[in-house]
Amino acid sequence: MEFVIRNATLPDGRTGIDIAVQDGRIAAVAPRLALAAAREIDAEGDLVAPPFVDAHFHMDATLSYGLPRVNASGTLLEGISLWGELKPQLTQEALVERAMRYCDWAVARGLLAIRTHVDVCDDRLLAVEALLEVKRRVAPYLDMQLVAFPQDGLLRSPTALANLKRAIAMGVDVVGGIPHFERTMADGAESVRVLCEFAAAQGLMVDMHCDESDDPLSRHIETLAFETHRLGLHGRVAGSHLTSMHSMDNYYVSKLLPLIAESGVAAIANPLINITLQGRHDTYPKRRGMTRVPELMAAGVTVAFGHDCVMDPWYGMGSGDMLEVAHMGLHVAQMTSQQAMRACFAAVTENPAKILGLEGYGLEPGCHADLVLLDAADPVEAIRLRAARRLVMRRGRIVAESPRAVARLDLPGRPGSVAFRQRDRGQ
């Protein structure tokens, strides 16, 4: 056997578990495996989880903060305007360099699968070409899905539909859209119909920026659920953001949630960005902006959290840490029961893996040996501490390691040096 990880805790609560790895796959998962291995790793009771998955990101814009200038207002619309200014200045080399740098950040944090939207409204399709190259380069250590995203509106931008089809022909994986950015609600609904019909004909998945607005009358998620059901796309469609649902009246939502669940449409919330960009027209009380995550989960909808942006025209913060995303989602959605906090961990691991359709994801025998050893006792503690990644494994190969987070204290009035770990309760 190549590796055996001893004495691990798993996200489902099992403790004292050994995980054997051979030929890039998980060979066995059980207590006290009687196996010899070329290398044994003592988890010391720490949490071993499948890798983090980001279901919603913009890799073509990442690490471009300050180009061509800083977003002075910090608003969504200024960010869109800035991106329009930046696009003519983009070069393929710069796009690839920034994306590769971000992928290094991601892998070090145990983030081994990313679905990234790529703008197709630039007739050069420069970003598409760049991210297809990045996808090829990172394939040995990171799964990347590309979404053809008509940032300026499918019908609003004259060449968007043709460019989207070109991008798909070049190898982009998923059909994207942004119906709430069309000129009218009717055009938004029409864009959903056109895109879903194209995806159905091509056998593709769909992931639309949908109702990223505080307007409770932005109801394109209803149309997306309808078209998904009509075309038999169940399980292949996701609605991202869905922030208008935060402002909708409860009676309408009581109708909407069963429609989303019936259609099998997944929901992707982006806590860091949703609460930053939404509610900008409010004084007080000020809306949180994030969609109704607990209610969607209770209705049986698969819900994931995405990072969305890292240091780009829309958001000057971020580090590629999906535990930071889960931490913010937990607080904004007031998901503080034990079950709800664990659901937030699932929203950055198994749920987005399901949305992306990742093959061989998990910690069962036969799954890919992709995993993260965290400096935490369980998923709740991992979120609380944004736990250090002691080890990141991809296809049975260790791709990142870091020590446990231990500080040495030498305080006045307390002689001697004391080892201190945040997770040691009572200290």
Enumerate the active-site residues: 212
- The β-bridge partners of 41 are 5
Burial 390-403, CB ≥16 within 10 A → b, else e: bbbbbbbeebbeee
Q: In terms of Cα–Cα distance, which of 421, 370, 361 is closest to 399?
A: 370
The span from the CA of 180 to the CA of 188, in Å, is 6
Judge contact between 176 and 147, C-beta under 8 A: yes
The span from the CA of 209 to the CA of 212, in Å, is 7
For β-strands 3-8 and 371-374, DSSP reports them as: unpaired
Q: In terms of Cα–Cα distance, which of 272, 111, 118, 282 is closest to 209?
A: 118
The span from the CA of 290 to the CA of 247, in Å, is 10
Classify burial at 298, counting beta carbons within 10 Å of its beta carbon; exposed 0-12, middle 13-18, buried 19 or more: exposed
Q: In terms of Cα–Cα distance, which of 7, 43, 32 is closest to 372?
A: 43
Q: Is 74 helix (H, G, I), strand (E, B) or coil?
A: coil
The span from the CA of 18 to the CA of 35, in Å, is 10
For residue 394, give the amino acid letter. R
CA distances from 186 to 67, 220, 344, 353 (A): 34, 10, 35, 33
The span from the CA of 202 to the CA of 132, in Å, is 19
Classify burial at 26, counting beta carbons within 10 Å of its beta carbon; exposed 0-12, middle 13-18, buried 19 or more: buried
Judge contact between 369 and 323, C-beta under 8 A: no
Give the helix ranges, DSSP H, for 208-336: 220-231, 250-263, 271-277, 293-298, 322-332
Q: In terms of Cα–Cα distance, which of 327, 321, 325 is closest to 372?
A: 321
The span from the CA of 397 to the CA of 325, in Å, is 26
